[in-house]
Amino acid sequence: MTDLTGKTALVTGSVQGIGLAIAEALARAGARIAVHGIAGDAQIEEVRTHLQKIGSPHAEFFHGDLRHPDRIAELMEAVAAWGGADILVNNAGIQHTAPLAEMPKETWDTILSVNLSAAFHTMQAAMPAMAERGYGRVINIASVHGLVASKDKAPYVAAKFGLVGLSRVAALEYAAAGDKAAGGVTVNCICPGWTETAIIQPQIDARAALHGGDRDTGIADLLSEKQPSRRMSDPAEIGALALWLCAPVAHNVTGTAIPIDGGWTAQ
């Protein structure tokens, strides 16, 4: 098991879904967790308490509107004052589907800001200190849409492809930082395919209804066009990979874009 005692992790969008699952994995390994996301006070307190119960010595919530560089700077300054991020997980993202000709221009700008530019700003703020310490991990959640395209998702796909490219550049620039014993500084993308989160539950329910309420058959039908395994990933599986990438043994795993997609991008 990876021991992250003494390490601090900032996970954007960590109040639910994949972000929360990653925060849970890092918390169980002993990391302090800088929680971030859009949530009310009750949900924030529930997440903080939960992460501390499962192993984090301290979980604190940090505000930061990822649409605005000034707010991101404030977020990163607050985390730096708290001890700084040894591990940075850029997970927060937004989505909107529409044909290219009908995509609102402001939607393009917002999706690029949150899904791509925000990662640039957080990495620029956090990575120099990682290099000084000789250990750092940046894990960017890029989606299979950082590797392959789908119709009606122009800004999302553009942002995720850009995130993979940004990660590769940063990986090269920081590849020689630190050493094997300290763990070095690495930058990687995780590219999930269909993953079972609350946001896709309505689609699952609709497909299951077409098959007499059989949920497994409905999921297989939903995934059949894209994901050959016809099985969803669980957010905890994404968390497990993120945790492994934080281990010293992963010091030479950098600049990668790792799909968890049941064969989607192998086609």
Mean pLDDT score across all residues of the chain: 96
User: What is the average per-residue pLDDT within 99-110?
Assistant: 98
47 and 169 assigned to the same domain:
yes
Residue 265 located in a structural domain: no
Residue 189 located in a structural domain: yes
Q: Which domain holds residue 227?
A: 198-232
222 and 179 assigned to the same domain:
no
pLDDT of residue 189: 98
Cα–Cα distance list, 247 to 16, 54, 81, 96, 250 (Å) = 24, 19, 25, 35, 6
User: What is the average per-residue pLDDT within 44-62?
Assistant: 98
Question: By the 8 A CB rule, do 208 and 214 touch?
Answer: yes
Tens of pLDDT along 180-230? 999 999 999 999 999 998 778 888 888 999 999 999 999 999 899 899 999
Residue 3 located in a structural domain: no
Q: CA 172: distance to chain centroid?
A: 20
User: What is the average per-residue pLDDT within 152-166?
Assistant: 97
Residue 74: closest CA among 20, 19, 118, 137: 118
Cα dihedral value 49, 53, 55, 59, nearest 10: 10
| Both tokens assigned to 25 | 């994995």
pLDDT of residue 107: 97
Residue type, 258: I
Residue 57 located in a structural domain: yes
Of 29-33, 164-168, 190-194, 197-201, least confident by mean pLDDT is 197-201
147 and 221 assigned to the same domain:
no
163 and 210 assigned to the same domain:
no
168 and 209 assigned to the same domain:
no
22 and 87 assigned to the same domain:
yes
Catalytic position from the list 61, 135, 156, 174: 156
86 and 24 assigned to the same domain:
yes
pLDDT at residue 72 tops 70? yes
Question: By the 8 A CB rule, do 260 and 231 touch?
Answer: no
Residue 46 located in a structural domain: yes
Residue 266 located in a structural domain: no
Of 2-11, 77-86, 106-115, 193-202, least confident by mean pLDDT is 193-202
Query: How many domains does the chain contain in total?
Result: 2
Q: In what order do the strands lie in the sheet with 257-260?
A: 59-61, 32-35, 8-11, 87-90, 135-141, 184-192, 257-260
User: What is the average per-residue pLDDT within 228-253?
Assistant: 97
Residue 56: closest CA among 95, 84, 28: 28
Percent with pLDDT over 90 in the chain: 94
15 and 95 assigned to the same domain:
yes
28 and 102 assigned to the same domain:
yes
pLDDT of residue 106: 98
User: What is the average per-residue pLDDT within 130-134?
Assistant: 97
pLDDT at residue 1 tops 80? no
DSSP string covering 114-180: IIIIHHHHHHHHHHHHHHHHTEEEEEEE--GGGTS--TT-HHHHHHHHHHHHHHHHHHHHTTTSS-T
182 and 220 assigned to the same domain:
no
124-128: long-range contacts, CB 8 A cutoff, minimum separation 24: 125/72, 125/73, 125/76, 125/77, 125/80, 126/10, 126/76, 126/79, 126/84, 126/85, 126/88, 127/88, 127/170, 127/174, 127/185
pLDDT bracket for residue 130 (50, 70, 90) = very high
User: What is the average per-residue pLDDT within 8-15?
Assistant: 98
pLDDT of residue 198: 78
Residue 97 located in a structural domain: yes
32 and 158 assigned to the same domain:
yes
pLDDT of residue 175: 98
Residue 1 located in a structural domain: no
Residue 174 appears among annotated catalytic residues: no
Q: Domain with 153 in it: what CATH number?
A: 3.40.50.720
180 and 228 assigned to the same domain:
no
User: What is the average per-residue pLDDT within 229-254?
Assistant: 97
pLDDT of residue 197: 86
